[in-house]
């Protein structure tokens, strides 16, 4: 019995230590000037978007590195596909949230939080942080952030019509991103 209790205590201490480590890493990332902090919608399953964005960051880095010895036209085409996906996502977002109608997603930094606000937000266990490698990743991350924000709001209001629209858009983003990055290899952004 005592051994069991000791084991349980050890596990709890380990969990607390891991959480502290994770929070410290997240805080370090949140202090970076272009970082985006967001709380993904959909609870635990929403973390797949964080994973997808991290994968997209890596993917863009790989494309950029391949430009040195690879085919520049192919690199340009890949960047074009990412950009197209970003703009499609924002078009879908504008249909659901009309106040962004006149908003140019290139100006994503205008609606990003200040450093203090990011540090305040990062204290929540569910908060995710992404340091986008370029504007396309940032635009997509900001779209996911805005959609998650609105998703939580509609959840509180029990507005299921709009919830469904956002959920469909989320699924589309996930499918498109997986398709985009998984063309040359394994399926990306999956927790399972």
Partner 1 sequence: MSLKVGYITGFIVVKSLPDYDSYLCKLLDSQFLAQLPKKWARKEYKIGESDWAAVFDMVGARITLSQKSPQYVRKILEYLLMPACAELNLKIKRTAWVTGYSFHKVAVQPQNGDVGSSRELMAVIKPYIEKINIKDYISENISFVRYSHDLKAFVVNALCPPGHEDKIYKVIHHVEMNQVDVMADASAIPAILGINGRNIVLAQKLCKCDIAVKPLSISVFDKFKEKY
Name the site residues for partner 1 (rule: CB under 8 A).
38-39, 111, 113-114, 117, 120-121, 123-124, 145, 148-149, 152-153, 156-158
**C-alpha closest to that of 192 among 180, 176, 178:** 178
Of residues 22 and 157, the one with the C-beta less far from partner 1: 157
Secondary structure (3-state) at 103: coil
Q: What minimum distance in Å lies between the beta carbon of 44 and partner 1?
A: 17
Tell how far CA 156 is from the center of its chain: 22
Q: What minimum distance in Å lies between the beta carbon of 117 and partner 1?
A: 6
Of residues 4 and 99, the one with the C-beta less far from partner 1: 99
Q: What minimum distance in Å lies between the beta carbon of 68 and partner 1?
A: 39
Q: What minimum distance in Å lies between the beta carbon of 102 and partner 1?
A: 16
**C-beta of residue 68 within 8 angstroms of C-beta of residue 167:** no
Of residues 122 and 137, the one with the C-beta less far from partner 1: 122
Q: Whole-angstrom Cα distance, residue 151 to residue 166?
A: 7
Q: Whole-angstrom Cα distance, residue 80 to residue 28?
A: 31
**C-beta of residue 136 within 8 angstroms of C-beta of residue 82:** yes
Of residues 38 and 108, the one with the C-beta less far from partner 1: 38
């Amino acid at each position: 019995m005592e051994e069991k209790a000791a084991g349980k205590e050890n596990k709890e201490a380990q969990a607390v230590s891991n959480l502290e480590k994770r929070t410290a890493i997240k805080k370090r990332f949140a202090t970076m000037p272009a970082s985006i902090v967001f709380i993904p919608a959909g609870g635990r399953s929403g973390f797949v978007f964080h994973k997808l964005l991290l994968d997209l960051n890596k993917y863009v880095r790989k494309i950029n590195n391949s430009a040195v010895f690879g085919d520049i036209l192919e690199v340009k085409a890949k960047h074009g596909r990412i950009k197209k996906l970003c703009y499609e996502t924002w078009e879908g977002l504008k249909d659901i949230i009309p106040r962004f109608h006149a908003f140019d997603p290139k100006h994503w930094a205008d609606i990003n939080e200040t450093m203090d606000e990011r540090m305040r937000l990062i204290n929540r266990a569910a908060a995710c942080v992404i340091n986008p490698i370029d504007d396309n990743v940032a635009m997509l991350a900001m779209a996911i952030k805005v959609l998650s924000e609105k998703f939580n709001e509609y959840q509180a209001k029990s507005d299921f019509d709009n919830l469904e629209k956002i959920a469909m858009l989320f699924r589309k983003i996930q499918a498109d991103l997986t398709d985009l990055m998984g063309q040359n290899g394994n399926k990306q952004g999956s927790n399972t």
